[in-house]
Amino acid sequence: MIEVRVQSLGLDRATNTPVVILQEKEGQRVLPIWIGPSEASAIAMELAGMKFSRPLTHDLLVSVVVGLGGALKRVLITKVVENTYYAELIIQRGGELISVDARPSDSIAIALGMAAAIYTSDDLLENASIEVAEPAEPPEEFAAGGEETGPTGLRAEELKEYLRRLNPEDFGRFSP
């Protein structure tokens, strides 16, 4: 497993969807994960050190884990299946390690709140990541002839190539 950090939080201008960009701590590869607006707000608030007077959902989970005598040891972003990312919270309670299935966006907000490390596999970084490169324009050709397309309307291979050439600065900044 390779440790990653939140490199930035942005807004994909093509889909108007928040994107969290994870970067390997000892390298240049980055992993973009498209997330929901409420999860993006939770991550943004944790990054900014903001707290509300009443707990938000990720704050509640932090309180439950701590209240039950546990500690978040790490977050693992384990796989992507049909454009859906999966993660696990690894919680230690006494001598026991407990793995809890979770969405990466929630897991990242919780990890930031509990100062826990975030990891992903080399395979996931290699196959789903983008490398920092020159800014890229989206491909002009869109899917035709019945080929399956993603939410951007691009064929899978076009989208993969577009992401490979994309610079994290190409994403707009997200503000909660």
Q: What is the pLDDT of residues 44-82, one digit of tens each?
A: 989 988 888 888 888 999 999 999 999 999 999 999 998
- Using DSSP's 3-state secondary structure scheme, residue 60 falls into helix
The predicted model scores a pTM of 0.73
Q: What is the pLDDT of residues 130-145, one digit of tens each?
A: 544 333 344 343 333 4
Does residue 21 register a pLDDT over 60? yes
| Predicted local confidence at residue 78, as pLDDT | 95
Domain definitions of the chain by residue range: 2-173
What six digits make up the tokens of 155?
């064929």
Does residue 154 register a pLDDT over 90? no
Domain boundaries 2-173, CATH class: alpha beta
In which region does residue 14 sit, left (phi positive, over 0), alpha (psi from -120 to 50) or beta (all else)?
A: alpha
| Predicted local confidence at residue 77, as pLDDT | 97
For residue 95, what is the DSSP state?
A: T
Give the whole-angstrom CA distance, residue 43 versus residue 130.
21
